[in-house]
Amino acid sequence: MAANQEEQEQEQRRRLIAAATRFPLPSGCRFSYGTAGFRADGATMAPAVCRAGILAALRSVKLAGAAVGIVITASHNPIGDNGVKIADPDGGMMAQHWEPFADALANAPDPDALLQMVLQFAKDEGIPLGGEDTAQVLLGRDTRPTGAYLLDAALQGINAIVGARAVDMGILTTPQLHWMVRSKNKGVMASESYYFRQLIGSFRRMLELVPKGKGGDEVAKKLIVDGANGIGGVKLEQIKVELSGIDISVRNSGKEGEGILNHMCGADFVQKERVTPHGFNPEDVGVRCASLDGDADRLVYFRLSSASDNRVDLVDGDKILSLFALFIREQLDIVNNNGGQANKSLSARLGIVQTAYANGASTLFLKSLGLEVVFTPTGVKYLHKRALEYDIGIYFEANGHGTVVFSEDFISQLESLSNELSSQADIGSAQYHAVMRLLAASQLINQAVGDALSGLLLVEAILQYKGWSFQDWCGLYSDLPSRQLKVKVKDRSVIVTTDAETKVSQPSSLQELIDKETANYTHGRCFVRPSGTEDVVRVYAEASTQVEADGLAKSVAHHVERLLG
C-alpha cells in the first residue's frame, strides 16, 4: 500500500473516532430514522445529528460527489424538540435502502463500533474513502434554539469524512434547503435570492395570465397568514412586498416576542383542532387565511366562520390538491381541445396520489372528474416517488404536505409547443395561454418537496384565475366527518398493514373486528396503523355523521387496546 494512501486511511479512522468521542451516545438512547428522519428532545439530539452528518457525507461520496442536504428541524413539534433529515441529490428524501444503515450508525454504542460500521458499510457499498473533494453537503436549520448547537454537531460529522465539504446555507424553511440541493445538482444557482426570484417571477407570470375581468376585487386579494412563529413567517415577511396583486399580512410571524413556535398556532394545530390559531380575532371573520407549519412544508387554509366562537371552516391538503387538479386538468383540456390540431396537442398522464388519511369525499370528488387516483402508505417519500411516475403527478397528505411534479419530458413538450405557437404568432390564443400557465406553475411549485410558500402562491394565483372566493373553493365537496385517535400499546410494531395501510394483515383477528364494527355505520371507513413518528397506534374513522365517526373510532380503539394493550 502506498504510504500516502495508508496515511489517509489513518486520518480517516482518526477523524471518525474523534467525532464519535465528542458526541457519545447516552446509555438507553435509541434513534430510529422514521418518516421524518431522527427526531427527539433537542437537547439529546447531538449524537444522532453528528452521525447524520457522517451519513450525509458518505451518501455524497457514494453518489460521486453530488450535493446532499441536511435539514435540522422538528417541523410542527414543540419548540424543545429537534430533528435531522437527509435530502438526496434530486432534492427528495434520502433513498430508503440507506435507512437501516442510518439506524445502525445512530445507535452505534461506542466510537470503535461506529468506526468498524462505517468501514464495513463503505466496503459493502463500494464507497471510496480518503480522496480529495469527494463530498459536499448543504445544511439548513429552522429557528429552534437548539439549532445552532446541532448545526455544529452536523458539521463535525461531515468533517469526519476526509474530502467532504460542508456549506452552511443558514436559517431556512425545509423546502428551501431541498430546493437548493436539487438546484445545485442541476447547475442552477442554489441561493436564497434565486429561490425567491423564481417564486416571485413565476407568481407574477401566473397573474399576468389571469383572464381580464377575473381576478377579484381588493377583498379577494386579502390574505392573512399564520406563520406558526417559525421560519415560514419570517421568509414571507421578507418577500411579501415584492408580491404584487396580493395583500398579505403575517401573524405569528416569528418576530421576537410574538409567541412560541408552533404553540397554539401553525398548520398542524389548525388542521387537528379546527379552531383559529393564536393571534386571530372576531374581526377576521370571513377573511381568507392560511396557516404554515414550523418549517413551512405544510399548508392549510381556513376561514373564521362566525364572530361568536373560534371554530374554522378548514381547507386541508385534500382540497388544495383538488384545486390544483382542477386547474391543471382545465389547462390540459384547453391545450388539447383548441383548434383540434393533432400536432399541437400534448399527451400527458395526470395522476393523483393520496394516502388513506385523505377524506373519502375528496377521493370521490377526484374520481368523479375522471382522474386517476392512487394510494401509498403515509409519508412524503412514498407519495413523491409515486407521483414521479406520471407526466404530472399531484400529491398531498391531508395535513397539508404536498406538491405537483412535472416530468422533464413533459416540460420539454410544453416548451416546444410554446415556441411553436409563438413563432406562428399564436400568442393571443387560449392554447398559448394555457401552455404558459402550465410552464409558470411548474416554475412556481417546488419540484423537490411540498413547500408551503410556493403552494400558497399557486393557490392564490389559481383563485384569481378562476375568480373564486374561499367559499367557492371550500364548497367543491363536503368532507365526511372523521375522527383520529391515538392508542398507546406495548409494541406497536406487532401491527402489520397492507393495501397502502388500509388493511391490517397481522394480527388478522384485528382486521375482522374492524370490518365488523365498520359494517354498523353508513359510509363507514376505518383503518389502524402504527405511527412512524410517535410511539402510538393511530386509528382513523370516517362515517356520515360526527357522532358515528367518533363511535367507530372509539370502538376500534378499544379492540386495539384489548388485543395489544
Ligand X SMILES: CC(=O)N[C@H]1[C@@H](OP(=O)(O)O)O[C@H](CO)[C@@H](O)[C@@H]1O
Residues annotated catalytic, as ranges: 75
**Partner from ligand X, Mg ion, none binding residue 293, C-beta < 5-8 Å depending on class:** Mg ion
The piece of 291-299, 347-355, 432-440, 486-494 that touches Mg ion (CB under 5 A) is 291-299
Per-residue string for binding with ligand X, 255-274, x by CB under 6 A? --------------------
3-class DSSP assignment, residue 502: coil
Query: Helix and strand tally (H, E) in the chain?
Result: 18, 19
Helix axes 430-444, 408-423, angle to 10 degrees: 140
275: DSSP letter: B
- Closest separation between CB of residue 559 and ligand X, Å? 19
**Partner from ligand X, Mg ion, none binding residue 327, C-beta < 5-8 Å depending on class:** none
Q: Which amino acid is at 324?
A: F
Contact call for residue 538 and ligand X (CB under 6 A)? yes
Report the C-alpha gap between 11 and 15 in whole angstroms.
Answer: 6
Contact call for residue 279 and ligand X (CB under 6 A)? no
**Partner from ligand X, Mg ion, none binding residue 380, C-beta < 5-8 Å depending on class:** ligand X
Report the C-alpha gap between 235 and 80 in whole angstroms.
Answer: 22
> In this chain, which of 81, 192, 284, 297 binds Mg ion, going by CB under 5 A?
297
- List the beta bridge partners of residue 248: 223
- Closest separation between CB of residue 459 and Mg ion, Å? 17
- Closest separation between CB of residue 150 and ligand X, Å? 18
Report the C-alpha gap between 153 and 155 in whole angstroms.
Answer: 5
**Binders of ligand X among 374-393, rule CB under 6 A?**
378-380
And the C-alpha cell for 444?
412556481
Q: Annotated binding site for substrate: which residue ranges?
A: 397-399, 529-533, 538
Contact call for residue 98 and ligand X (CB under 6 A)? no
Contact call for residue 353 and ligand X (CB under 6 A)? no
> In this chain, which of 142, 295, 451, 548 binds Mg ion, going by CB under 5 A?
295
> In this chain, which of 534, 550, 558, 563 binds ligand X, going by CB under 6 A?
534
The piece of 54-62, 181-189, 517-525, 530-538 that touches ligand X (CB under 6 A) is 530-538
**346 with 414: CB under 8 angstroms?**
yes
> In this chain, which of 533, 550, 554, 563 binds ligand X, going by CB under 6 A?
533
- DSSP assignment of 332-384 equals HHHHHHSTT-GGG-----EEEEE-TTS-HHHHHHHHHTT-EEEE--SSHHHHH
Q: How many residues bind Mg ion (CB under 5 A)?
A: 5
3-class DSSP assignment, residue 92: coil
Q: Annotated binding site for Mg(2+): which residue ranges?
A: 75, 293, 295, 297
Report the C-alpha gap between 405 and 371 in whole angstroms.
Answer: 16
Q: Which of 94, 184, 191, 82 is nearest to 142 (CA)?
A: 82
Residue least distant from Mg ion (Cβ):
75
- List the beta bridge partners of residue 434: none
And the C-alpha cell for 500?
397502502
- List the beta bridge partners of residue 309: none
**Partner from Mg ion, ligand X, none binding residue 344, C-beta < 5-8 Å depending on class:** none
- Closest separation between CB of residue 533 and ligand X, Å? 3
Strand extents, DSSP E, 412-515: 482-487, 496-498, 503-506
Per-residue string for binding with Mg ion, 57-96, x by CB under 5 A? ------------------x---------------------
> Phi, psi at residue 496, to the nearest 5°?
-115, 135
Residue least distant from ligand X (Cβ):
532
- When computed from its CA atoms, the radius of gyration of the chain, rounded to whole angstroms, is 24
Instruction: Report the residue number, 201 or 532, with the smaller CB distance to ligand X.
Output: 532
> In this chain, which of 397, 426, 460, 542 binds ligand X, going by CB under 6 A?
397
Contact call for residue 293 and Mg ion (CB under 5 A)? yes
**532 with 524: CB under 8 angstroms?**
no
How many angstroms separate the first and last alpha carbons of the chain?
Answer: 58
Instruction: Report the residue number, 176 or 399, with the smaller CB distance to ligand X.
Output: 399
Cell 370502538 -> residue: 555
**Binders of ligand X among 17-76, rule CB under 6 A?**
35-36, 75
Contact call for residue 391 and Mg ion (CB under 5 A)? no
277: DSSP letter: P
- Closest separation between CB of residue 262 and ligand X, Å? 13
Instruction: Report the residue number, 268 or 284, with the smaller CB distance to ligand X.
Output: 268
Q: Is 152 exposed, middle or buried (0-12, 13-18, 19+ CB in 10 A)?
A: middle
522's CB contacts (< 8 A; 6+ apart) are 543, 544, 548
Instruction: Report the residue number, 80 or 131, with the smaller CB distance to ligand X.
Output: 80
Instruction: Report the residue number, 72 or 441, with the smaller CB distance to ligand X.
Output: 72
Helix axes 46-62, 147-159, angle to 10 degrees: 40
Contact call for residue 532 and ligand X (CB under 6 A)? yes
- Closest separation between CB of residue 25 and ligand X, Å? 24
Instruction: Report the residue number, 101 or 395, with the smaller CB distance to ligand X.
Output: 395
Please report, as ranges, the residues that interact with Mg ion according to CB under 5 A: 75, 293, 295, 297-298
Please report, as ranges, the residues that interact with ligand X according to CB under 6 A: 35-36, 75, 357, 378-380, 397, 399, 531-534, 538
